[in-house]
Amino acid sequence: MVNTNTTLEDTSLTVESRISQVTVYSNQARVTRHTKVSLTGQEQELVIPRLPMTIETESVRATGTGTGAVRLLGVRTEKVFDSEPVGEQVAQLSGQIKELEKQKRHLQDQLASKELARNFVEALTDKAVQHFSRSLAQQQIGVQETGEFLNFLEQRYHADASAIAQQEEQQQELQKQLNALKAKLQQLKTPRPQESLSI
Q: Where are the domains of the chain?
A: 12-76, 87-192
How far apart (Å, rounded) are the C-alpha atoms in residues 18 and 54?
A: 17
Element (H, E) at 193: strand 193-198
Per-residue pLDDT of the chain (199 residues; tens, 9 = 90+): 334 444 445 678 888 888 888 888 888 888 888 888 887 778 778 888 877 777 888 888 888 887 877 777 788 888 776 666 677 888 888 999 999 999 999 999 999 999 998 898 888 888 877 777 777 667 777 778 777 878 888 898 899 899 999 999 999 999 999 999 999 888 877 765 555 556 5
Full-model pTM = 0.48
Q: Are 161 and 118 in contact (CB under 8 A)?
A: yes
Alpha-helical regions (H) of 56-86: none
| The pLDDT of residue 152 | 86
